[in-house]
Copies of this chain bind each other. A is one copy, B any other.
């Protein structure tokens, strides 16, 4: 099986990972976590929903939490296309390949197209949002991790190759991937449109589920500070993994869990991936450096816990995973 190739003459222009819509039991708790502790900006809130954005974002929202009494789920991830014409082209494209896509009205967004991708994940596309002020120079507002902008999503998919082809067909390019040694069996794929490391990542597992969404933060200091703040507030158990450095993507990361168990990554480092001659970086499955350049591997809960998509069933993965969790690593006598 060969690595899926990006369609360079994309049928429409997706520009970036845009936003994610989650549910939460208690919006006050969600607000305390995301705005007071982590440092996101509240753009809008009422009794039923909370709209947040990063400090530098001029778009209305990159994270939406809707009140819902049940277990926290992900309602949908959002992608941006460049222009309204790209939206029209997207609709035509999905019609042509037999994917149901329908126009919907979504508050604070321009015309929006809803569809499910090839792994069953609910996605929405829009070209515009309401415009709001960037706070990137309101340094007196910075606190917690000082998150700047939403960067990417990581999705657990039962069939990574199938999920990947859906996105390479609409112009996503692969920056890095993990494959079984000596084969092209895909365990993980890092896909991008915006010219750096990733907009969407797929990793093999029971899916579709949202493993995490990620915001960029400005500096190493901010990464340490959010851990310290969690510690000083007595809620260090929100720290799910890290700090650490990924081999894949080169991110200096920390992962936190929100009050509903949704996972957010905060990370500093990125690289540019624009040029056409640059080949994807391959990581053999046997290379444990891919997930951790230093320190200990992630514990089981990082590997196996994720957020379900609303009303979506999950499937068993095509490849049977047996990662070196922290638990195993320690049992191996380190």
A137 to B279: give the CA distance in the assembly, Å: 17
Q: Nearest chain-B residue to A86 (Cβ)?
A: B276
Q: How large is the interface on A (under 10, 10 to 19, 20 to 34, 35 or more residues)?
A: 35 or more
Stoichiometry, as copies per complex, reads 4
- Which residues on the B side are within 8 Å of A296 (C-beta)? 296, 299, 326
Separation in Å of the A294 CB from the closest CB of chain B? 4
- Which residues on the B side are within 8 Å of A225 (C-beta)? 139, 142
Interface: A116 (CB within 8 A):
no
- Which residues on the B side are within 8 Å of A59 (C-beta)? 275, 277-278
Interface: A88 (CB within 8 A):
no
- Which residues on the B side are within 8 Å of A259 (C-beta)? none
Pick the contact of A140 from B218, B229, B242, B275 — CB < 8 Å?
B229
Separation in Å of the A5 CB from the closest CB of chain B? 14
CB distance B231 to A289 under 8 Å?
yes
Separation in Å of the A94 CB from the closest CB of chain B? 21
- Which residues on the B side are within 8 Å of A80 (C-beta)? 274-275
CB distance A232 to B140 under 8 Å?
yes
Interface: A127 (CB within 8 A):
yes
A224 to B134: give the CA distance in the assembly, Å: 20
Of A220, A234, A242, most buried by chain B (CB within 10 Å of CB) is: A220
Interface: A293 (CB within 8 A):
yes
CB distance A271 to B56 under 8 Å?
yes
Separation in Å of the A124 CB from the closest CB of chain B? 15
CB distance B236 to A294 under 8 Å?
yes
Interface: A129 (CB within 8 A):
yes
Pick the contact of A129 from B128, B129, B271, B277 — CB < 8 Å?
B277
Interface: A52 (CB within 8 A):
no
- Which residues on the B side are within 8 Å of A56 (C-beta)? 250, 271-272
- Which residues on the B side are within 8 Å of A195 (C-beta)? 15-16, 194-195
CB distance A227 to B294 under 8 Å?
yes
Of A231, A289, A292, most buried by chain B (CB within 10 Å of CB) is: A231
Interface: A301 (CB within 8 A):
yes
Interface: A307 (CB within 8 A):
no
Separation in Å of the A177 CB from the closest CB of chain B? 16
**Which 10 interchain pairs have the tightest Cβ spacing?**
A231-B293, A221-B221, A139-B228, A231-B294, A227-B294, A139-B232, A128-B277, A236-B294, A56-B271, A58-B278
Pull 7 A–B residue pairs with CB atoms less than 8 Å apart, ordered by A: A128-B277, A131-B278, A231-B245, A231-B293, A243-B295, A299-B330, A300-B330
